[in-house]
Structure 1
Amino acid sequence: MPNMRNTIARMWDDLNPKEPSPYYLVKLMSVIIGAFAFGLIVHFLRV
Protein backbone atom coordinates (compact mmCIF):
# COMPACT_ATOMS: atom_id res chain seq x y z
CA MET A 1 0.00 0.00 0.00
CA PRO A 2 2.79 2.53 0.65
CA ASN A 3 3.92 2.00 -2.95
CA MET A 4 0.47 3.01 -4.22
CA ARG A 5 0.50 6.05 -1.94
CA ASN A 6 3.91 7.09 -3.31
CA THR A 7 2.64 6.65 -6.86
CA ILE A 8 -0.43 8.81 -6.17
CA ALA A 9 1.72 11.46 -4.46
CA ARG A 10 4.11 11.54 -7.42
CA MET A 11 1.22 11.84 -9.90
CA TRP A 12 -0.27 14.67 -7.83
CA ASP A 13 3.08 16.50 -7.83
CA ASP A 14 3.34 16.06 -11.60
CA LEU A 15 -0.17 17.44 -12.14
CA ASN A 16 0.28 20.33 -9.71
CA PRO A 17 3.81 21.68 -10.04
CA LYS A 18 5.11 23.95 -7.28
CA GLU A 19 6.22 26.60 -9.79
CA PRO A 20 4.03 26.25 -12.87
CA SER A 21 5.84 26.99 -16.09
CA PRO A 22 4.27 29.30 -18.68
CA TYR A 23 3.81 26.29 -20.97
CA TYR A 24 1.81 24.50 -18.26
CA LEU A 25 -0.40 27.55 -17.78
CA VAL A 26 -0.96 27.87 -21.54
CA LYS A 27 -1.97 24.20 -21.72
CA LEU A 28 -4.32 24.63 -18.78
CA MET A 29 -5.93 27.72 -20.26
CA SER A 30 -6.34 26.08 -23.68
CA VAL A 31 -8.08 23.08 -22.09
CA ILE A 32 -10.43 25.36 -20.13
CA ILE A 33 -11.27 27.46 -23.21
CA GLY A 34 -11.72 24.31 -25.30
CA ALA A 35 -14.12 22.83 -22.75
CA PHE A 36 -16.04 26.12 -22.65
CA ALA A 37 -16.28 26.25 -26.46
CA PHE A 38 -17.37 22.60 -26.59
CA GLY A 39 -20.04 23.31 -24.00
CA LEU A 40 -21.32 26.30 -25.98
CA ILE A 41 -21.49 24.26 -29.18
CA VAL A 42 -23.37 21.44 -27.45
CA HIS A 43 -25.71 23.93 -25.80
CA PHE A 44 -26.60 25.73 -29.04
CA LEU A 45 -27.02 22.48 -30.98
CA ARG A 46 -29.51 21.20 -28.39
CA VAL A 47 -31.55 24.43 -28.17
Structure 2
Amino acid sequence: MTSGEYIFNRRRRHHLLVDPAQEYVYKNHEMLLVSIAEAREDDRAFSC
Protein backbone atom coordinates (compact mmCIF):
# COMPACT_ATOMS: atom_id res chain seq x y z
CA MET A 1 0.00 0.00 0.00
CA THR A 2 1.35 3.40 -0.87
CA SER A 3 1.22 6.34 1.45
CA GLY A 4 -1.46 8.85 0.75
CA GLU A 5 -4.13 11.05 2.21
CA TYR A 6 -6.46 9.60 4.80
CA ILE A 7 -10.14 10.38 4.69
CA PHE A 8 -12.69 9.47 7.30
CA ASN A 9 -16.00 8.05 6.21
CA ARG A 10 -18.36 9.23 8.94
CA ARG A 11 -21.34 7.01 8.28
CA ARG A 12 -19.30 3.84 7.92
CA ARG A 13 -16.99 4.92 10.77
CA HIS A 14 -13.65 3.91 9.34
CA HIS A 15 -10.62 5.59 7.85
CA LEU A 16 -9.79 5.16 4.20
CA LEU A 17 -6.33 5.35 2.67
CA VAL A 18 -6.38 7.27 -0.58
CA ASP A 19 -3.92 5.97 -3.15
CA PRO A 20 -3.10 9.06 -5.24
CA ALA A 21 -2.43 6.84 -8.25
CA GLN A 22 -5.90 5.34 -8.19
CA GLU A 23 -9.52 6.39 -8.00
CA TYR A 24 -10.29 4.06 -5.14
CA VAL A 25 -9.61 3.92 -1.43
CA TYR A 26 -8.94 0.91 0.75
CA LYS A 27 -10.87 0.32 3.93
CA ASN A 28 -8.55 -0.25 6.89
CA HIS A 29 -7.52 -3.89 7.34
CA GLU A 30 -9.63 -4.94 4.36
CA MET A 31 -9.21 -4.80 0.62
CA LEU A 32 -12.68 -3.41 0.04
CA LEU A 33 -12.49 -0.87 -2.76
CA VAL A 34 -14.64 2.22 -2.46
CA SER A 35 -14.56 5.03 -4.97
CA ILE A 36 -13.08 8.22 -3.55
CA ALA A 37 -15.81 10.30 -5.13
CA GLU A 38 -18.49 8.09 -3.59
CA ALA A 39 -16.89 8.23 -0.17
CA ARG A 40 -16.59 12.00 -0.29
CA GLU A 41 -20.01 12.75 -1.74
CA ASP A 42 -22.06 10.12 0.03
CA ASP A 43 -20.62 10.60 3.50
CA ARG A 44 -18.95 14.01 3.21
CA ALA A 45 -15.64 12.46 4.18
CA PHE A 46 -12.92 14.83 5.30
CA SER A 47 -9.13 14.77 5.34
CA CYS A 48 -7.62 13.72 8.64
Q: TM-score, normalised by structure 1?
A: 0.22
Q: TM-score, normalised by structure 2?
A: 0.22
Report which of the two structures shows the higher radius of gyration computed on alpha carbons: 1
Query: Which of the two has greater strand per residue?
Result: 2
